[in-house]
């Protein structure tokens, strides 16, 4: 075991200790951030076997003493963790403790520095087009991060990225207006974005 293993162990220990006090998995939430050299543990064993992950990151297989060809914390074998019985990533996924792996991309480096929100009204008739279908069509566009169907004055809140103001004002709004069911829109540009305390629950 090395220090990079510990986030996985802490997740297991956090759930184990709370389970012992009577709390079921469904009442517990934990988040693990894998970064720097620990990012290797986000790849499954097929990737480890295909590419020299163990060699590049200096992670040896305890059973061979050589660079590992498998993710040692995905389905741990004897010797991978100090005590026996610690759940690996696979078992924690099966329990619902780990729901997904995600990558946070620097959109500015990819040429999409502008971040905004488009408020849109639903222009369809209830028997003509469903708002959920409209939202699904909106989400197919490459500049859309997500679309929410909401209550209140507006029917949709669309989160978007853009290359610049011209791109946001022309290309994006023009494409959005072509979708059947999208009516009047209003655009909001985000100057700054701050993460809240509940970000891990998003």
**Is residue 162 assigned to a domain?**
yes
User: Percentage of the chain with pLDDT > 70?
Assistant: 86
Is 83 in the same domain as 130?
Answer: no
Residue 1 confidence class, pLDDT cut points 50, 70, 90: very low
Cα–Cα distances (Å) from 194 to 31, 35, 59, 67, 190, in that order, read 19, 21, 36, 40, 11
Cβ proximity of 73 and 5 under 8 Å: yes
Tell me the pLDDT tens digit for each residue of 85-104.
677 777 777 777 776 666 66
Residue 2 has pLDDT above 60, yes or no: no
Q: What is the CATH number of the domain that holds 129?
A: 3.30.70.920
Domain of 38?
A: 3-95
Query: Between 143 and 171, whose confidence is greater?
Result: 143
Check residue 119 and give its pLDDT: 95
Higher pLDDT, 80 or 143: 143
Choose the final residue of a domain: 37, 66, 95.
Answer: 95
Last residue of a domain, one of 95, 123, 139: 95
| Mean pLDDT value across the chain | 82
CA-closest candidate to residue 44, choices 86, 98, 81: 98
137 and 167, same domain (yes or no)? yes
Q: Is the pLDDT of residue 153 over 90?
A: yes
């Amino acid at each position: 075991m090395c220090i990079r293993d510990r986030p996985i162990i802490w997740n297991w220990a956090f759930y184990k200790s709370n389970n012992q006090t009577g709390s079921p998995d469904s009442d517990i939430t934990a988040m693990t951030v894998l970064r720097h050299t620990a990012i290797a543990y986000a790849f499954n064993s097929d990737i480890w076997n295909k590419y020299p992950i163990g060699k590049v990151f200096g992670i040896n297989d305890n059973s061979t003493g050589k660079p590992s060809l498998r993710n040692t914390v995905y389905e741990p074998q004897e010797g991978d963790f100090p005590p026996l019985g610690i759940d690996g990533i696979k078992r924690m996924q099966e329990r619902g403790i780990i729901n997904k792996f995600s990558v946070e991309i620097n959109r500015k480096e990819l040429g999409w520095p502008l971040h905004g929100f488009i408020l849109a009204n639903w222009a369809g008739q209830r028997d003509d087009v469903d708002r959920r279908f409209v939202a699904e069509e909106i989400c197919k566009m490459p500049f859309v991060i997500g679309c929410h169907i909401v209550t209140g004055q507006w029917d949709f809140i669309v989160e978007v990225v853009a290359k610049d103001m011209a791109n946001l004002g022309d290309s994006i709004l023009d494409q959005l207006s072509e979708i059947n069911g999208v009516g009047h829109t209003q655009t909001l540009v985000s100057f700054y974005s701050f993460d809240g305390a509940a970000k891990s629950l998003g």
